[in-house]
Amino acid sequence: MQFEYFMNDVVQSARDEMTEAGYEHLSTPEEVDHTFKDEGTTLVMVNSVCGCAGGIARPAAAYMQNYETKPDRFVTVFAGQDREATDHAREYFEGYGPSSPSFALMKDGKIQTMVERHEIEGHEPIEVVQKLEAAFDNHCS
């Protein structure tokens, strides 16, 4: 029972970190559809409780709010927590397998590019930032 309380705190902390970084949390398939079908660009951070999410992906995600070129929206889904929303978001990521943590850049409801877990785990946050900056430069106006 105490482990469950510990994990609830870990999950809430990871959620709060993304909210404080300016990301909107999508927790239902309907919220995913509504957001992804909006015109423009959307960065989707697929959050998780693993170490590379906390030490690399979330810091990189927060930093991206400071980049001059940015998408219209910053959103997050939480793998392993909001399963239906995450699974539904992944349906939009055509050509990419499930990966968390990860980043998907959408434009007008279509996947443009993705930074997958293998490009995050074992890398420095600045390397992930550079990949996201290149994606923003190529796909965001």
Residues identified as active-site: 50, 52
d(CA 128, CA 36): 23
Please answer whether residues 114 and 103 qualify as being in contact, where contact means their C-beta atoms are separated by less than 8 angstroms.
yes
Direct distance between the N- and C-terminal alpha carbons of the chain, in angstroms, rounded to an integer: 49
Helix, strand, or coil here: 47?
Answer: strand
d(CA 32, CA 77): 9
Q: Dump strand ranges (E) for 1-109.
A: 24-25, 41-47, 73-78, 102-107
Please answer whether residues 62 and 92 qualify as being in contact, where contact means their C-beta atoms are separated by less than 8 angstroms.
no
